[in-house]
């Protein structure tokens, strides 16, 4: 895997562990992995059969995102859970 910054994941085992953590948490948050000074969070929207239908992400400058990250994550999960429910996921 190609490193874009010093924070990029480049080892398969690290990526596998990160993906397992994402599945467990239900969202992903990353900072500086692709661009220094950029933070992003993302969460899936599930279809009724449990497959991922879509995803929503929020991306912004780290200095604006990180001080309020818990609030952003909470709002993101609230929206994606409601959208999943509307698509028949329970």
Average pLDDT score over residue span 61-71: 97
For 1-39, how does the pLDDT look when each residue is reduced to its tens digit (9 = 90+)? 898 999 899 999 999 999 999 999 999 999 999 999 999
Ordered structural domains, the chain, with CATH: 12-86 (3.30.450.40)
Please give the mean pLDDT across all residues of the chain: 95
Share of the chain above pLDDT 70, in %: 100
Give dist(CA 73, CA 5) in Å, integer.
24
pLDDT of residue 11: 93
pLDDT of residue 90: 86
Long-range contacts of 26-31 (CB under 8 A, 24+ apart): 26/77, 27/73, 27/76, 27/77, 27/80, 29/69, 29/73, 31/7, 31/62, 31/66
pLDDT of residue 1: 86
Average pLDDT score over residue span 56-82: 97
């Amino acid at each position: 895997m190609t490193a874009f910054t010093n924070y990029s994941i480049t080892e398969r085992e690290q990526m596998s562990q990160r993906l397992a953590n994402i599945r467990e948490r239900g969202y992903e948050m990353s900072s500086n992995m692709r661009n220094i000074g950029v933070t992003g969070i993302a969460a899936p929207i599930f279809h009724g059969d449990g497959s991922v239908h879509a995803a929503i992400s929020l991306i912004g400058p780290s200095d604006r995102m990180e001080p309020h990250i818990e609030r952003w994550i909470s709002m993101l999960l609230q929206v994606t859970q409601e959208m999943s429910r509307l698509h028949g996921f329970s």
